């Protein structure tokens, strides 16, 4: 079974637009779980333009499924994750000024750095996932640094899905098969949607978890949050 982790960054973006606490991200996280989500994901960035670091602390007290904190492991992020101790941390190589994640790690060039981070988080009992492009040598590198899982960066798949979905998925299938052989768990995220999710799930062997935020929250504007979560869960069956 593939778990659905709902990324609530966009809820925080809406809250921050008015400077108050509406919508309340903690309540939305609780409701997402009540509506069927099997995890909650947040991606705090240094400027706190959506999720604030305090949000992660507050959410730790209420999330009852699986809490996943993803982000670029600068000193403040490392301190936050070490304090919160979520079930999973996903390491993402975001530039400080990145609008959104746009590439996976070079697990070969950053081998020593990642190895130290992975060891540090695993010593705290946190499962570690590394955000990677669907490139076999990067998957191998993730294994070498001691990661528990990889998260496949799926924007290129989504971008080419309607043009040629077989070609769009090909590298992901190869990467997933290798991950399975190496004993790495497989997560995926970025631009997955109601249109492209089912095919991705069907083609990727051993897909454990998808993290979806932007498309899911956008769909919720039309379908409602509870119904939208059920629609995404249906695509994963």
Residues noted as catalytic: 43, 70, 190
> Of how many residues is the chain composed?
237
Beta bridge partners of 132: 152
Return the structure tokens found at 138.
Answer: 């990067």
Which value, in Å, is the radius of gyration of the alpha carbons in the chain? 17
Please, are residues 90 and 129 in contact by the beta-carbon 8 Å criterion?
yes
Residue 79 phi/psi, 5-degree rounding, is -65, -45
Q: Which of 235, 232, 237, 234 has the alpha carbon at shortest distance from 220?
A: 232
Q: Which of 152, 155, 8 has the alpha carbon at shortest distance from 69?
A: 8
Report CA-CA distances (Å) from 17 to 2, 26, 219: 33, 17, 20
**Number of other residues whose CB lies within 10 A of the CB of residue 154:** 27
């Amino acid at each position: 079974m593939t778990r659905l982790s709902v990324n609530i960054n966009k809820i925080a973006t809406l809250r921050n637009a008015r400077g108050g606490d509406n919508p309340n991200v903690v309540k939305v996280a609780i409701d997402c779980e009540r509506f069927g989500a099997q995890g909650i994901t947040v991606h705090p960035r240094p400027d706190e333009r959506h999720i604030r670091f305090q949000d992660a602390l507050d959410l730790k007290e209420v999330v009852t499924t699986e809490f996943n904190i993803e982000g670029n492991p600068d000193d403040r992020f490392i301190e936050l994750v070490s304090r919160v101790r979520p079930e999973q941390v996903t390491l993402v190589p975001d530039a400080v000024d990145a609008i959104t994640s746009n590439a996976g790690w070079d697990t070969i060039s950053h081998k020593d750095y990642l190895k130290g981070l992975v060891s540090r988080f695993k010593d705290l009992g946190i499962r570690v996932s590394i955000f990677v492009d669907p490139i076999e040598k990067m998957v191998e590198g993730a294994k070498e640094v001691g990661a528990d899982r990889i998260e496949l960066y799926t924007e290129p798949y989504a971008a080419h899905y309607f043009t040629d979905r077989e070609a769009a998925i090909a590298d992901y299938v190869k990467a997933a098969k290798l991950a399975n052989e190496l004993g790495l768990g497989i997560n995926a995220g970025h631009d997955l949607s109601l249109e492209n999710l089912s095919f991705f799930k069907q083609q990727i062997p051993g897909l454990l978890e998808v993290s979806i935020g932007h498309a899911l929250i956008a769909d919720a504007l039309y379908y409602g949050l509870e119904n939208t979560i059920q629609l995404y869960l249906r695509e994963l069956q």
